[in-house]
Amino acid sequence: MSYVDSVLQPGETIRYRGDIHWKVYLPGLGLLVLAFLCFLAGPWALLGIVIVFPAAGLLAWAWFLRWTTEIAVTNRRIIYKHGFVQRHTVEMNMDKVESVDVNQSILGRIFDYGDIVIRGTGATLEPLRGIGAPLDFRNHVTAG
Output the pTM of the full model: 0.85
User: What's the whole-number average pLDDT of the chain?
Assistant: 92
Say which amino acid occupies 136: D
Q: Which stretch of 67-76, 82-91, 101-110 has the lowest confidence by average pLDDT?
A: 82-91
HSE-CB for 75 with a 13 A CA cutoff: 5
The CA distance from 142 to 38, in Å, is 49
| Cβ–Cβ < 8 Å for 19, 131 | yes
- Asked whether residue 125 carries a pLDDT value surpassing 90, the answer given is no
Q: Which stretch of 33-37, 50-54, 121-125, 133-137 has the lowest confidence by average pLDDT?
A: 121-125
State the pLDDT at residue 124.
Answer: 74
Note the pLDDT tens digit of each residue in 87-118. Answer: 998 888 888 888 899 999 999 999 999 999 99
The CA distance from 138 to 124, in Å, is 15
State the pLDDT at residue 144.
Answer: 63
Helix (H) or strand (E) holding 68: none
Domain ranges for the chain, please list them.
23-64, 77-142
Bridging pattern class, strands 123-132 and 88-93: unpaired
